[in-house]
Structure 1
Amino acid sequence: MKSQYKIAAYITAYEDPKAVMDCLNAIACQSSFAIDKLLILDNSTKKPLLHLTNKENILIKFHPENIGIAAGLTWAIKWAIEQEYDFLWSFDQDSVPAANCLEILLKTYYQLSQQDNYKIGIIAPTPSDPRTSKVIEGAVFFNDHFLALKHNSSVDFYECDSPITSGSLISLAAAKTISPPCVDLFIDGIDLDYGLRLRQKGFHNLIATKAIMHHNFGSPIQVKFMNKYRYIQQYSALRYYYICRNHSYLETRFSQGYYHFTSLMRRIKYMLLQILFIMLYDLEDKQLKIWACLLGTYRGLIGNISKTW
């Protein structure tokens, strides 16, 4: 393995300094490989991480107006490329990688990159939500929609189109070949778009099954629907808007030919199902959340992602 990869880490922070510190400490405690620089984009209104600005290896940008995940990731990728880093390790604040996570990611990257013409864009850990004990799956684009790829723990790694953003170790050599994350996506679908565009450029995106990361995914609640217990996610109206808008936009744009029409139908079906769950299980702001789903889906289908919520 290369004796010294140059690695920067990045965290998107928002109104939860404890979660940021837990993530930061887990990054700092990686067993075999040190992070050279830690970048933090703090979208919080009151700058709760101000005490970290005197740390030599930490660079913080404060944006109390909240510029979102996509803009922060774009900044971090651009900075790391300019500073000639090999990798950017990207995190949401509510993620905690195991102590050997980075070591496994880098060993897997090195072993596979020795193969002829095997170019790696992203290598990611296996994220699991400790609240539900469920693995958060990577995605593949199948004809007209993004589909969760069933986790395969019997192998050391497997490929997907798009691992989740948090925990992704991004090869900056690969990042130089495509445009940065789309800032208009703001907070949802960024991983789907970026990962699939790397795949379309011929890069492999991998999930390493032995590299473990705990990640709090959304706000899950357990409900009984059609005589079966299942977890569903509850969101704010803002999140419903961006989920419906961005996924509608991406899936209909990546779909080709006849599948463009079936994708449109699938997105309308998804919107109606979300509205049903809001009516059945949400306890507050039902009308606002329903409007968010309707408006987001409409804007996504017509391709207008410059409009914010």
Structure 2
Amino acid sequence: MGERVCAVIVTYNRKALLRECLKAVFSQTRPPDHVLVVDNASTDGTPEMLQEEFPQVEVLRLPENQGGAGGFHEGMKRAYEQGFDWLWLMDDDGLPVPSTLEELLSERELEFKGCLVLAKEDLGSTAFYYPLPTEGHTKDVSAIEAAYPQGAIRGFLNPYNGCLVHRSVVSRIGLPLKKLFIWGDETEYFLRARCADVKMGTLLGARFWHPKDRQKNRKLVLFGRAVFLPFSDDPKRFFLIVRNQTYIYWNYISRFKLFVRLILYVLAFPQSAPMVLRASWAGIRMAWFHRALCTEENTDVVR
């Protein structure tokens, strides 16, 4: 018997996008063996749509919205406990091309495999930045393909966007942190896997469509180097961005760079300085109770 794959799709109040996602999942040249939809307590008729149009799908309905972090935590936990070998992860706004899963499974060495995530709005661009072998990051598909003629970016991937995780990875590093809720939870899981020496990479032949990164950034120039500070006009989301960023920098990247970033946040958003201080303290406290076993800085993921 071959290895079994469970697709884990997290959704919240986007039933039209979920419908298209599920159609793409069921149209795979190598379909998953099981499909699990984690519904973050949607109120837009998602449960009824799933029951009527996709009765073959298992639905895990959460009692409240637990964000992407909570959704993937519960979905991966369910799929892992059911004994599946591979967990194929995505949000409801992603679209795998017909050969995505087949391409991911055809590679036999990696334990954590990512797709080249293409922007739905721009055929020549990726939805997120990818590192170049020498220095810098790019969204230009042609530049990425030229930089990696072997067809893979070893040691880097964009989690959750069609990525494939072997159950052995979950056994070693655990599940996504629910407490992160949204923003940065995927980066934290990637860095945790890297610190555990998980064999990972992006397979350029595995394509996955996703909307462009909608995160707002304020660009500053410090000693001739561009620094990007993510932010939100929503105070609650802004708090989570700063808190989770603090947690990630403290545990995985650089505490010195964290303090520099926090100073820049105060200078760039003086009206939000009290919130920045509260959020950063919350992130440090969370990092203290969830220490990462990381022996070196992951500065190459910083843009």
Alignment of 1:84-103 (within 5 A): 84-103=83-102
1:203 corresponds to which letter in structure 2? V
Report the number of matched residues: 269
- Rounded Cα–Cα distance in structure 1 between residues aligned with 2:25 and 2:56: 12
Partner of 1:152: 144
Query: What's the CA shift for 1:181?
Result: 1.0
**Structure 1 position 63 matched with structure 2 position 53:** no
Partner of 1:175: 170
Q: If the length of structure 2 is used for normalisation, what is the TM-score? A: 0.76
Partner of 1:35: 32
Query: What's the CA shift for 1:19?
Result: 0.7
Partner of 1:77: 76
1:208 corresponds to which letter in structure 2? L
- Rounded Cα–Cα distance in structure 2 between residues aligned with 1:240 and 1:211: 33
- Rounded Cα–Cα distance in structure 2 between residues aligned with 1:182 and 1:148: 27
1:26 corresponds to which letter in structure 2? A
Query: What's the CA shift for 1:148?
Result: 5.5
- Rounded Cα–Cα distance in structure 2 between residues aligned with 1:61 and 1:195: 24
Alignment of 1:1-309 (within 5 A): 4-31=2-29, 33-46=30-43, 48-51=45-48, 52-53=50-51, 55-63=54-62, 65-108=64-107, 110=108, 113=109, 120-131=110-121, 134-135=125-126, 136-137=128-129, 152-154=144-146, 155=149, 156-219=151-214, 236-255=234-253, 259-270=254-265, 272-273=267-268, 275=269, 293=276, 295-303=278-286
- Assess if the C-alpha contact under 8 Å between 2:112 and 2:201 holds in 1: yes
- Rounded Cα–Cα distance in structure 1 between residues aligned with 2:105 and 2:168: 15
1:186 corresponds to which letter in structure 2? F
Q: Which moved more, 1:71-80 or 1:156-165?
A: 156-165
Quickly say closer, same or farther: Cα 1:162–1:269, change in 2 above 3 A. Answer: farther
Q: Which moved more, 1:180-189 or 1:69-78?
A: 69-78
Q: If the length of structure 1 is used for normalisation, what is the TM-score? A: 0.74
Runs of 5+ unmatched residues, structure 2: 222-227, 290-303
Query: What's the CA shift for 1:214?
Result: 1.2
Aligned-pair RMSD on alpha carbons?
Answer: 3.4
Secondary structure of 2:145's counterpart equals coil
Residues 171-221 of structure 1: CA deviation (Å, up to 9, x unaligned) = 112211122111101112112221222222221221111211111144368
- Rounded Cα–Cα distance in structure 2 between residues aligned with 1:4 and 1:294: 51
**What is the aligned-residue identity percentage?**
23
Query: What's the CA shift for 1:157?
Result: 0.6
- Rounded Cα–Cα distance in structure 2 between residues aligned with 1:98 and 1:272: 44
Secondary structure of 1:4's counterpart equals coil
Runs of 5+ unmatched residues, structure 1: 114-119, 141-146, 277-286
Secondary structure of 2:43's counterpart equals coil
Quickly say closer, same or farther: Cα 1:98–1:178, change in 2 above 3 A. Answer: same
Query: What's the CA shift for 1:291?
Result: 6.6
